[in-house]
Amino acid sequence: MPFDFKPRLSGENSIIASLATVGLVVGTYQATVGPVSDVHATEPNEINLSASVRKAGWMSLVFVSGLTLLAKDPNIMILGGATIILQELAYRHALMTHPGTGQIAVTPAAYMPQGSPGVPGVMAAAG
């Protein structure tokens, strides 16, 4: 039996469900990481905030996927996915900027693979 992806929701209800999904994604990022302004105020490439942003992204992806499959509505997937992308861009930019200069801080360690010798803090964290 093929998967039938016909929307279960009417036009107005589809918009309401999609906007509720957008609110769920934004709320997930707010609850997991905090406001973007707080992330801008921290040191660039802070390890704990990076983990929180990744966790919020995966949680949001699970929520959007689940709601899309339950409602069988592609609008939820489109708006929810776009919101995840926008939130990721905002938080990743905030993670990379230096609070004093406002410039994106790139270190040589950012270009090395994880676990490479010469990356400060990698061996200490592994041991």
Count of CB atoms within 10 A of residue 8's CB? Answer: 11
Give residue limits of the domains in the chain. Answer: 11-126
Q: What is the pLDDT of residue 124?
A: 47
Checking if the pLDDT of 98 tops 50, the result is yes
Over residues 24-34, the pLDDT tens digits come to 999 999 999 99
Do 17 and 70 form a contact (C-beta atoms < 8 A)?
no
Q: What is the pLDDT of residue 109?
A: 63
Checking if the pLDDT of 125 tops 50, the result is no
Q: What span, in angstroms and rounded, lies between the C-alpha atoms of 56 and 121?
A: 25
Q: What is the pLDDT of residue 101?
A: 87
Question: For 6-18, what is the mean pLDDT?
Answer: 81
Q: What is the pLDDT of residue 82?
A: 97
